[in-house]
Every structure is written in structure tokens, then in C-alpha cells.
Amino acid sequence: MHWLGTYDNPDWTIGPELASVANIGPAIASLRRTLDTNSRQGHHVRILAGEVNSAPAAMPYSATQSNAAYLADTELALLAAGAREVHWFGLYSALQRGSPTADLGLLSTGNCQETCESPVGTRLPTYYAQQLVSAVARPGGRLIGRSTTGAIATHAVREPDGSLAILLVNRSAGPVRTRLALRGYRARGCAALLRTRGDGIQHDLVRPTDAFDLPAYAVALVQLHR
């Protein structure tokens, strides 16, 4: 299957794509029922999300932090809903629509179309979000699920060693102050915080036991253990 946040976004804004993540659970459940109904007895068809992005064609936000937030929220939601594999489209794509940030890929191709994007191989914001998702969804881990509190989407994964990995996604265009408080767990080290500053991506470390701000469309990873 393919999962694209929207096919029709005349305003070229990220809002509809981020909102579409809520549809993943019901859509996968419906697909699962259809496959089970039409498969021969004893034959289980796995669901693979083979092409995932926020839109079928690049938008001006595709290579920005907002699409990085979409990637993190969507990929983990698909896995939690029952997809066996999730593949982002793509590693390289190309510049479209004449905007320097209209690139669906994880790495820049360095091409030009009315304007030029960053040099070939430059890591785009979605690349760093993919790194954090890969750090959470490790082999042997068990996805506990996704919850939302206001603008924050939270994904939790119980790792093979019993620790708890939590990915926080700020889906809003403004900063949100948040705090983690889980009974029976304490934070191990600091939280890696992914956010944009100027023309680049900065990784910061914050103490997750304290209240901290998640900047607009930020993705944060926290490791907790008993």
C-alpha cells in the first residue's frame, strides 16, 4: 500500500497532512479485514507501506521541519497500526515547483528548477527525523501505541532490554511546553531534540525530567528505564 497525507492541498500548507495521521488506524484496520476476508484459510497477508510521504508531488514544505514532523508521526503510526514495513519515498527525489524546499527526499539532489536547492547529498530535515524514528523502532521492540495531548503526538516503544523509548512530535506551528512524568520510570541521560535554526538542523540535549519547550514541528526522543 501507499500512504500519502493528501492528494489535494491547494493552499500548500502542512495542516491537512498532519491531521491525516489520525486516519491511519481505521484505514489499516479496514485493509486488514479485507485481506483476511479474501485470503485463503491459514494464509496471512502482510501489510507493507511501500511509499509514504505527505503528498504525491513535492510541496514548498516538503524539505522543511514540518514534513519531518509528519514523517516521524506517520511512520510510527503505520507500524503501530499493523504495517510490517514502512518505506519513505524516497532517499533522493528532486526539486519541484521552483521552490528550494520542494523536495520529497531525505537527501538533496542539488538540482535546479527556477531556483537551486542545497548541494547534492545535503541532509534534509526529514533525514534527521528518520534517524530518530530508526532509533525508536529497533528490532525486538514493541510499539505500545500513539496518543495525543493537544498539539503533541506521543509514540512509546518498549525496547528488548525493558527500557521505554518515547518520541514526541509537536504538530503545531508554535512552541509547546511539555513535561514527562511516568510512574515507575526515570530518564536515562538527556533527550535528543531535533529542531530547525536558520538554514540548518540543530541537535540539542534537554533534561526530560524538567519541563521543556518543543519548538514548532520539533521531534524529541527520550529514553526511559526503571
Query: Per residue in 177-187, pLDDT tens?
Result: 988 777 777 77
Which position has the higher pLDDT, 136 or 206? 136
**Where does the pLDDT of residue 74 fall: very low under 50, low under 70, confident under 90, or very high at 90 and above?**
very high
Pair (20, 91) in one structural domain: yes
Kindly state whether residue 135 falls inside one of the protein's structural domains.
no
If you average pLDDT over every residue of the chain, what do you get? 87
Residue 71 contacts residue 129 (beta carbons within 8 Å): yes
Mean pLDDT value across residues 70-91? 95
Which position has the higher pLDDT, 34 or 212? 34
Pair (121, 146) in one structural domain: no
Most confident stretch, 19-33, 138-152, 188-202, 212-226: 19-33
Residue 24 contacts residue 76 (beta carbons within 8 Å): no
For the chain, how many structural domains are there in total?
2
Q: Kindly tell me if the per-residue pLDDT of 214 is higher than 70.
A: yes
Pair (99, 155) in one structural domain: no
Mean pLDDT value across residues 44-70? 92
pLDDT confidence of residue 161: 85
DSSP H or E stretch at residue 49: strand 48-53
158: containing domain: 140-225
- Predicted TM-score (pTM) of the model is 0.91
Kindly state whether residue 132 falls inside one of the protein's structural domains.
no
Which position has the higher pLDDT, 223 or 142? 142
pLDDT confidence of residue 201: 67
Pair (94, 203) in one structural domain: no
Kindly state whether residue 79 falls inside one of the protein's structural domains.
yes
Kindly give, in sequence order, each residue whose CB lies less than 8 Å from that of residue 208, ignoring residues fewer than 6 positions away: 180, 187, 190, 191, 222, 224
